[in-house]
Amino acid sequence: MEKRLRLDDNPEQPTSLSDRAIENLSFIRRTMEASGTFTAVSGLGVMAMGTLALLASAYASRFPAPDADLRIWAGTAVLASAVAGYAIVRKARRRQESALSGPGRKFLLNFMPALIAGAVLTGALVTAGLPSLLPGTWLLLYGTGVVTGGAFSVRAVPAMGVGFMALGALALAVPAWGSSLMGLGFGGLHLAFGAIITWRYGG
Q: What is the pLDDT of residue 138?
A: 96
Residue 36 within a domain: no
Q: What is the pLDDT of residue 32?
A: 44
Q: What is the pLDDT of residue 95?
A: 80
State which residues form the domain around 105.
41-201
Residue 135 within a domain: yes
Secondary element (H or E) of residue 187: none
HSE toward the beta carbon, residue 51, CA cutoff 13 A: 10
Q: What is the pLDDT of residue 194?
A: 94
* Number of domains into which the chain is organized: 1
Q: What is the pLDDT of residue 33?
A: 46
Q: What is the pLDDT of residue 101?
A: 76
- With contact defined as beta carbons under 8 Å apart, do 106 and 112 qualify? no
Residue 154 within a domain: yes
Q: Which of 173, 171, 81 is nearest to 134 (CA)?
A: 171
Residue 76 within a domain: yes
The low-confidence residues of the chain, meaning pLDDT below 50, are 1-3, 5, 7, 12-13, 27-28, 30-35
Q: Which of 150, 148, 30, 159 is nearest to 98 (CA)?
A: 30
Taking the C-alpha atoms of residue 9 and residue 175, their distance in angstroms, rounded to an integer, is 80
Q: What is the pLDDT of residue 9?
A: 52
Residue 6 within a domain: no
Residue 49 within a domain: yes
Residue 34 within a domain: no
Q: Under DSSP, is residue 149 helix (H, G, I), strand (E, B) or coil? A: helix
